[in-house]
């Protein structure tokens, strides 16, 4: 199965509701879809999301990156998968989103070649996941209403976006806890929005009140690993690195520093599944749990992340709700959702087809 061409196209997907974090606000998301064509007539599908404020990758840089990578992969044989992956990762520095899109397309072909779903080839630990659902930053009343709505729709783990105003965040969380009752788990994601001391103050206030939070994601600036460690050492709730940890080497750094309790793995940060497997192995041998999340990605990317999350045992939390936040279905097949459950499917590769 030799690669004969790699094509890209841009799709635009409307969101049900404006997505708001401490870093940005979005009404629609654009994704770059990759089609890897082979001499067998079988195509592999991948995708990337431009998330400039996190990865630094823009729509144009992703398309340019894939064009560059393409020159190195033409005529390569999927049966020599390691060679392809080494070439993909060494032919260009950075460009993790472009690499992820190609990596996802290559794993799709790998599964199709060996006639198995990718998650089975990677370890096949489970065929069902449970996801949280994201609540955007808005007024306390609106966030309480959105949270109540999510709980009524069967979600028992909410990921609450905070980090714009510490005092207001406490009021937001009080309103949410009051609306959803005591039996719902709450993760707060500050998207780097707090100063270290401010983070400790606000998290402690939440811990000492009846808000009860279960996880805190990326409380401080991504590059401030000392600040991250300070927060981790001064609160009881487990702290998760998101923007601070892209690569396996980043993971080694935060683990060696004991800067976090958990790592959020996203394929757009690692550059795809090949590096995500290295990262999770490093975490596992250091007894660090992981979660798997995504950017504002099409179902192609989220489906690939779900296959990765289903394959391994030390992934203890899943944040793959993006397909539930979209109102367009451009992509067929792949994972299915029922309330907060995600079901992996039995098709070869990632089982995705695309409407043209």
Please identify every residue annotated as catalytic.
161, 266
Kindly calculate the radius of gyration of the chain based on its CA atoms and give it in whole angstroms: 20
* Three-state DSSP state, 213: coil
Give the residue with the Cβ less far from Mg ion, 104 or 263. Answer: 263
Among the residues of the chain, which ranges form H helices? 52-55, 59-73, 81-90, 96-113, 118-121, 140-152, 166-180, 196-208, 225-234, 248-256, 267-270, 273-285, 299-311
Give the residue with the Cβ less far from Mg ion, 8 or 136. Answer: 136
Q: Closest separation between CB of residue 92 and Mg ion, Å?
A: 26
Count CA atoms closer than 13 A to 21's CA, side-chain side: 20
C-alpha distances (whole Å) from 32 to each of 9, 98, 143, 207, 331 are 6, 9, 31, 41, 13
Q: Give the whole-angstrom CA distance, residue 312 versus residue 119.
A: 9
Q: Closest separation between CB of residue 34 and Mg ion, Å?
A: 24
Concatenated DSSP letters of 11-32: EEEEEEEEEE-SS-EEEEEEEE
Binding site for Mg ion (CB under 5 A): 189, 217, 242
Q: Closest separation between CB of residue 191 and Mg ion, Å?
A: 6
Q: Closest separation between CB of residue 240 and Mg ion, Å?
A: 8
Give the residue with the Cβ less far from Mg ion, 108 or 132. Answer: 132
Residue 12 has φ and ψ, to the nearest 5°, of -120, 130
10 Å Cβ neighbour count for 141? 11
Q: Give the whole-angstrom CA distance, residue 263 versus residue 249.
A: 13
Give the residue with the Cβ less far from Mg ion, 198 or 217. Answer: 217
**Backbone region of residue 115 per phi and psi (left: phi > 0; alpha: psi in -120 to 50; beta: other values):** left
Which residue number places its CB atom closest to Mg ion?
A: 242
Give the residue with the Cβ less far from Mg ion, 111 or 227. Answer: 227
In a 10 Å sphere around its CB, with 0-12 CB exposed, 13-18 middle and 19+ buried, how is residue 114 labelled?
middle
Q: Closest separation between CB of residue 264 and Mg ion, Å?
A: 6
Give the residue with the Cβ less far from Mg ion, 15 or 91. Answer: 15
Q: Closest separation between CB of residue 60 and Mg ion, Å?
A: 24
Q: Give the whole-angstrom CA distance, residue 7 versus residue 134.
A: 32
């Amino acid at each position: 199965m030799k690669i004969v061409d790699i094509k890209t196209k841009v799709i635009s997907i409307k969101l049900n509701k404006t997505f708001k974090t401490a870093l940005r606000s979005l009404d629609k998301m654009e994704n770059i879809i990759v089609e890897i064509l082979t001499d067998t007539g079988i195509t592999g599908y991948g995708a990337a999301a431009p998330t400039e404020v996190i990865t630094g990758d823009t729509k144009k840089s992703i398309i340019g990156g894939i064009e560059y990578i393409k020159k190195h992969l033409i005529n390569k044989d999927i049966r020599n998968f390691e060679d392809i992956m080494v070439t993909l990762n060494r032919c260009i520095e950075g460009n993790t989103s472009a690499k992820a899109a190609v990596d996802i397309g290559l794993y799709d072909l790998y599964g199709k070649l060996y006639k198995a779903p990718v998650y089975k080839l990677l370890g096949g630990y489970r065929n069902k996941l449970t996801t949280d659902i994201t609540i955007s930053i808005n007024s306390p009343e609106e966030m309480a209403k959105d949270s109540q709505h999510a709980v009524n729709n069967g979600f028992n783990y909410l990921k609450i976006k905070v980090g714009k105003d510490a005092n207001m965040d406490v009021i937001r969380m009080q309103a949410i806890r009051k609306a959803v009752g005591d039996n719902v788990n709450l993760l707060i994601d500050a998207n780097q929005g707090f100063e270290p001391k401010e983070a400790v103050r606000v998290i402690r206030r939440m811990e000492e009140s009846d808000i009860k939070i279960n996880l805190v994601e990326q409380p401080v600036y991504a590059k401030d690993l000392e600040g991250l460690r300070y927060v981790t050492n001064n609160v009881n709730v487990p702290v998760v690195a998101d923007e601070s940890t892209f690569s396996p080497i980043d993971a080694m750094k935060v683990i060696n520093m004991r800067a976090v309790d958990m790592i959020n793995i996203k394929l757009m940060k690692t550059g795809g599944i090949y590096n995500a497997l290295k990262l999770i192995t490093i975490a596992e041998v250091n007894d660090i749990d992981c979660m798997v999340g995504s950017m504002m990605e099409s179902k192609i990317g989220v489906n690939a992340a779900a296959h990765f999350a289903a394959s391994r045992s030390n992934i203890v939390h899943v944040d793959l709700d993006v397909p539930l936040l979209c109102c367009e279905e451009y992509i067929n097949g792949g994972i299915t959702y029922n309330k907060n459950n995600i079901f992996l499917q039995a098709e070869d590769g990632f089982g995705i087809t695309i409407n043209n």
